[in-house]
Amino acid sequence: MGHLLEIRVPDIGDFDEVEVVEILVAKGDRVEVEDSLVSIESDKATMEIPSSATGTVVEISVVEGDRVAEGSLLVVLDVLESDRPAAPEDGAPSVDSGAAPQNRPDSVADDDESAPAVPDPTLAEPTPRVDFVREVSPAAADPVPDQVGLPHASPLVRRYARELGVPLAETEGTGKHGRILVDDLRGHVRDRFAKDAESGSGSGGPGLGIPPVPSLDHAAFGPVSEQKLSRIQKLSGPVLHRSWLNVPHVTQYDEADVTLLERFRRDQRDAARERGLKLSPLLFIMKAVVIALDEFPSFRASLAPDGDRLIIKEYFHLGIAVDTEQGLVVPVVRDVDQKGIYELAEELNATAERARARKLGIEDLRGACFTISSLGGIGGTGFSPIVNAPEVAILGVSKTQVRPVWQGPSPLDHAETPAIASDSLPSAPTDAGRFEPRLILPFSLSYDHRVIDGALAARFTSRLSRLLSDPMQLLL
Ligand code: CAO
């Protein structure tokens, strides 16, 4: 045996613990410098821990599903002196750590006495390769079915390939035994873009062939400064882009008279406060949406991967867009149909707090059948949200406004009045009716036109409007 080298979890940034999602080597495997050993995954990223030396795997200290922290031992390598990078001086240690030195196991502790006081600079701490992890619904199109004979790639790479729409079979792997690495996917996409740019036309596939926005030297026109995108922005940007490019969007605008609902909400405010809760209008909107989703199943559907049928979700988990300092996240509130307003208030509040404290796990972000994005607490009269594909519809909620609304027989009801003359609308109260200040909630529904027709969308929003205008219906 040559020299034992421990590979440990390096600095993993903001996370206390991460999960081991894949062991990429077996005992007895010979590995080279930079070969991936273990994949670990936080709620937002997957990191492949590479080997910092050439050698043979003699011990694997973790199993898939283990939770590990910075310094946890992952793998022990037997590094042959001839394979070992040249040390700067004699008397090299017999055991080295590939990362932080804590938590050493008994199996190698005996050799510890000879460990150097100063870390050996020839054995670099492994630098994790960090890649995106994003939610992929089982209903999402999967160009890379997991079949025998298909190229070798880790789950991370397969997931990334699905997100990019890259068929693994067309990608050349540069890893060990032809294993496809994330860099190979990036190379594939780069080459594809270059070819399209050369030929001046896209050859199909979302995003390909779109003329690039020309890069510009902005500093030539005045002073500029730079600001890095947050990690969440870097993750959510491609997801939004993917939805925007794949889904033929239409947005239906509507509004609801929420005067009665607001009166009810305000009446309940003190009782809620006693329980330490805030009754946001969003809670009632969630309940109304669930009723509408129950009546209009295609709004809680996803297109099957081959596009020939709908997969209708018989559960009512709602994605709720939450604005955080780091950017937009969409945690999922489950079984909204089975929960009362107070329970939802508690859950929404706790979920939004965890989102803002960056404590959401991957499970908190998956499984929605429909999403609501509420900007009602901020402002605006209407907006077109982007469908959170593979969902097929999303509701955008804007700020409630006070508006004068005609209460009385509608002038439109007078059949003998084909066109309404401006003087036929009374400006002051009359016996027949009057304008009243009412609370009007504007909302919008963006939908996937491949699945939902305009007429159905208008029926859905009209139903939602009626539900929100009559809070008694929400109780039924
Ligand atoms: N009209 C008028 N007022 C409204 C309202 C509406 N439609 N919706 C909420 N409000 C009020 C609330 O009642 C609350 O008032 P008080 O402080 O007086 O009680 C205030 O606005 C703030 O509400 P809120 O935003 O904190 O709470 P919420 O339950 O309505 O929303 C959450 C929770 C997490 C959805 C929200 O905080 C948030 O993050 N919204 C942004 C979502 C977003 O960014 N969407 C865009 C996605 S696309 O980039």
CATH number at residue 157: 4.10.320.10
Is residue 46 located within the same domain as residue 184? no
Would you say residue 269 lies in a domain?
yes
pLDDT score recorded for residue 50: 86
Nearest to 387 by CA among 333, 327, 452, 441: 452
The rounded Å distance from CA 355 to ligand 1 centre is 15
Residues 60 and 158 in one domain: no
Residues 174, 53 within the same domain = no
> Is the same domain home to 104 and 237?
no
Phi, psi of 114 (to 5 degrees): -90, 5
Query: How far does Cα 90 stand from its chain's mean position?
Result: 51
Closest ligand 1 atom to 323 CA: 39
Summarised one tens digit per residue, pLDDT across range 121-163 is 334 445 555 443 333 332 233 333 333 345 677 767 877 887 7
Instruction: Judge if 167 and 243 occupy the same domain.
Output: no
Residue 19 tokens read as 């999960």
Strand partners, 20: 40
Residue 346 lies in a domain: yes
Regarding whether 166 and 130 lie in a shared domain, the answer is: no
Centroid of ligand 1 to alpha carbon of 280 (angstroms): 7
Residue 283 alpha carbon, nearest atom of ligand 1: 29
Look at residue 139 in the predicted model and tell me its pLDDT. 29
Same domain, 296 and 440: yes
Which tokens sit at 222?
Answer: 């005045």
Q: Is the CB of 54 under 6 A from ligand 1?
A: no
The fraction of the chain above a pLDDT of 70, given in percent, is 76
Q: What is the pLDDT averaged over residues 94-118?
A: 36
Dist. CA 443 → ligand 1 center (Å): 13
Active site residue ranges: 449
The C-alpha R_g of the chain, in whole angstroms, comes to 29
- Residue 259, in any domain of the structure: yes
Taking alpha carbons only, the member of 13, 74, 72, 21 closest to residue 362 is 21
The residue whose CA is least distant from atom 25 of ligand 1 is: 377
Do β-strands 55-60 and 73-79 pair in parallel, antiparallel, or remain unpaired? antiparallel
- Whether residue 460 contacts residue 427, with contact meaning beta carbons closer than 8 Å, is answered with no
Assess whether the C-beta atom of 386 lies below 6 angstroms from ligand 1.
no
Ligand 1 midpoint to CA 379 (Å)? 9
Higher pLDDT, 211 or 2: 211
The answer to whether residues 254 and 338 belong to one domain is yes
211 within a domain of the structure (yes/no): no
Neighbours of 365 (CB within 10 A): 19
Q: Output 376 or 80, whichever has higher pLDDT.
A: 376
> Could you tell me if 113 and 155 lie in one domain?
no
Q: What are phi and psi of 357, to 5 degrees?
A: -90, 5
**Which range is least confidently modeled, 1-10, 199-208, 257-266, 466-475?**
199-208
| pLDDT tens digits, one per residue of 45-82 | 667 788 888 999 999 999 888 899 988 999 999 997 66
Ligand 1, closest atom to CA 398?
A: 7
Pocket test residue of 232, 282, 360 for ligand 1, highest count of atoms within 8 A of CB: 282
Instruction: State the pLDDT confidence band at 183, using cuts at 50, 70 and 90.
Output: confident
pTM of the entire structure? 0.62
User: Does 211 sit behind a cis peptide bond, omega within 30 degrees of 0 on the bond before it?
Assistant: no
User: Does residue 46 lie in a domain region?
Assistant: yes
CA of 373 to the centre of ligand 1 (A): 9
Which domain does 316 fall in, by range?
A: 231-408+434-474
pLDDT (tens digit per residue) in 231-280: 889 889 999 999 999 999 999 999 999 999 999 999 999 999 999 999 99
Could you tell me if 252 and 378 lie in one domain? yes
Tell me: do 128 and 158 sit in the same domain. no
Question: What pLDDT was estimated at residue 133?
Answer: 34
Cα(161)–Cα(366) distance, rounded to whole angstroms? 19
| Shared domain check, 155 and 127 | no
- Residue 73 sits in a domain whose CATH number is 2.40.50.100
Please report whether residue 422 resides in a domain: no
Number of folded domains in the chain? Answer: 3
Calculate helix-pair angle for 281-295, 454-469, nearest 10 degrees.
Answer: 130
Of 250, 266, 272, 262, the closest CA to residue 461 belongs to: 250
Q: What is the pLDDT of residue 110?
A: 35
Assess if residue 225 is contained within a domain.
no
Q: Angle at Cα 288 formed by Cα 309 and Cα 252, nearest 5°?
A: 60
The answer to whether residue 414 sits within a structural domain is: no
Mean pLDDT of 348-376: 94
Q: Is ligand 1 within 6 A of the CB of residue 468?
A: no
Mean pLDDT score of the chain: 80
Of 124, 151, 158, 144, which Cα lies nearest the Cα of 46?
Answer: 158
